[in-house]
Amino acid sequence: MRLLDRILMVSAIVLTVLVIVLTVLSLLSFRHFSIYTAERHVRSVAETVKVGLTESMINGTINKRQQFLARLADVPGVHQVRVARGPAVISQFGPGLASEGGAQEDVKKVLATGKEMFELIEVNGELMFHAVIPYVASDQGLPNCLQCHTVRAGTVLGAVTVDISFAEVRRQGIIAVILISLAVVLAALVALALLRRMMKPLSETAHAVQEVTSQAVGGNFAGRVLQRSGDEVGEIALNINRLMEFLETEISTIRTRVGQLMGHRASEGGNQLLHTTELVESLVEASQFKQAIEEDQTKLEIYQRLADMLRVKYDFKRFSIYEVAASKNRMTAMSIDGEPAATCRYCDPQVMIDANSCRARRTGHEVNAVGFPGLCTMFRPAAAGDTHICLPVNQSGSAGCVVQIVASAEEAELASLMIPFVSVYLREAGPVLEAKRLMEHLRENALRDPMTGLYNRRFLEDYVGALVSSSQRRKSPFAVLMLDLDFFKQVNDTHGHEAGDKVIKTLADLLVRNLRGSDMAVRYGGEEFLLVLTDTGAEPALKAAEKIRAEVEATKIPLPGGILQKTISIGVAEFPTDADTFWQVVKFADVALYKAKSSGRNRVVRFLPEMWDADGSY
């Protein structure tokens, strides 16, 4: 339904309701007014009767009262007038005429209470306004009632019954209501016609605007709106036409400029927006960049390529690239001004331990402080006038990394112009970075024990080469510790495997707490662990092992059935003093562990050559 039709329909409904309400109110008002008028009429008749009867009593013509009442009944609108004597009058003057008896119930009630009564009744099919008004004795004025009646003032002398026709009043009221309703309906129709005439230009303009904007959404800005008036509606049409002309010119200019930037000739016609988008998305250099990073082996190489792109292609001298660890809510500096793994330089270090303090990471939106200085409270300018632009690289709905570009006041405008082009590279890099991070995460999980989180033997096999090479290059020894829980099988047999798992996890946590960041803990078997203490000889290793042994012995592990305490045996060997190959050192540490087990358990044993027979037995 069009706008004009909806407006007219709503207006018609409102006016119809208004006509109905006015009609009902008019009926109620005329009924109330008619009753009020009839009441005043009967009061006038009753008062006339009272005055006439009083005059007749004074003048001695009371015996002609029937003719007087009959003449009153001939007054137009008056149907009947009767008088009923009260007990006081009957007692003094007798019952009077037969018509003056008060046999009717309403008359008796009025004579008894002295209160007037009004009601609508139907007589021979005709609606009447029936009134019974008491005639009360008064001593006010001359003549008055007490001149003839021996009663006190306030005594009910009689009652006057008056019936007047109400049908004519009702008929006139209905005619008046009908005329008012017709006048209101006519006014409503005229109002609807005027409203339609006034709203038609607006409706037609709105329809034309809808068609033009629909074409614009499809990329066609050639549509125009006919200007039908010189008021606000006409001004809307004029502004829409100006807007369409502006968009048609500017979109064509943008498309041509982007085509020139890419060395591409833009085609004419068709969906201009779609063509412009296709040109931007088909930037050859961004596509080549994506292909290159997809072939990189690690994410570190991708971060380095991003740094090279910022420094070489767009000549940004100061920038930061942060990686977000969502699981830990931390950020790591991957490149600062092209330096890998440098320290935070242009931000408050708080962002490194609380990633949500970074506005770009928290919102997932570009933070451009060029036009809004102080937009991010974490920015720390290196010089006066420095500003920054932070671009989040969204991965799976949140910022996986953040690229920060720092510019001086002179460089800020140019930096803002370059941002859309940099964003193309970042959009291409986002999914690739996410895939590389996922692969590294999967590889990391494959090299760790799922129960304890410690490295497993597979990682140890991959790590051996780098460990030995580093030790030989720096001419620094390292110690290997083999650890085994004493009587661990009894834990599973007595308390169940869940208790055994808890003991293993507790030991793993204890080992991690007692190791340095450069050391390594490996779950070597079921209850067997291997520790590599870098830059550590045998003697310091023995002290570290003894500390671990004592802490294990003192550790109390709560179980559903009570408290459990376990001990551990440890064998220690040193590279390259005991052997010049890693696996031989591991074997010697295992020999020392066997010695600790066989000599009573819960102890630390240093490998000695005599523990190893020439034939390799022990």
3-state secondary structure of 354: coil
Q: What per-residue confidence (pLDDT) applies to 425?
A: 83
- Taking only the tens place, the pLDDT of each residue in 111-167 is 888 888 888 888 777 788 888 888 888 777 776 777 677 778 888 888 888 888 877
Please report the beta strands in 202-360, taking only residues with DSSP state E, as ranges in sequence order: 318-325, 330-336, 339-340
Q: What per-residue confidence (pLDDT) applies to 511?
A: 92
Q: What per-residue confidence (pLDDT) applies to 264?
A: 43
Residue 269's closest CA among 210, 320, 218, 224? 218
Q: What per-residue confidence (pLDDT) applies to 200?
A: 74
CA 211 → CA 199, 216, 274, distances in Å? 18, 9, 19
- Taking only the tens place, the pLDDT of each residue in 284-343 is 777 788 888 888 878 888 889 899 989 988 899 999 999 888 666 888 888 999 888 778
Measured distance CA(108)–CA(86) in Å, rounded: 9
Low-confidence ranges of the chain (pLDDT < 50): 262-264, 282, 614-615
Q: What per-residue confidence (pLDDT) applies to 262?
A: 43
Helix, strand, coil in percent for the chain, rounding step 5:
55, 20, 25
For the record, the structure tokens of 243 come out as 């807007």
Q: What structural domains and CATH numbers belong to the chain? A: 3-171 (3.30.450.20), 218-282 (no CATH), 299-441 (3.30.450.40), 457-611 (3.30.70.270)
Q: What per-residue confidence (pLDDT) applies to 12?
A: 82
Specify the pTM.
0.41
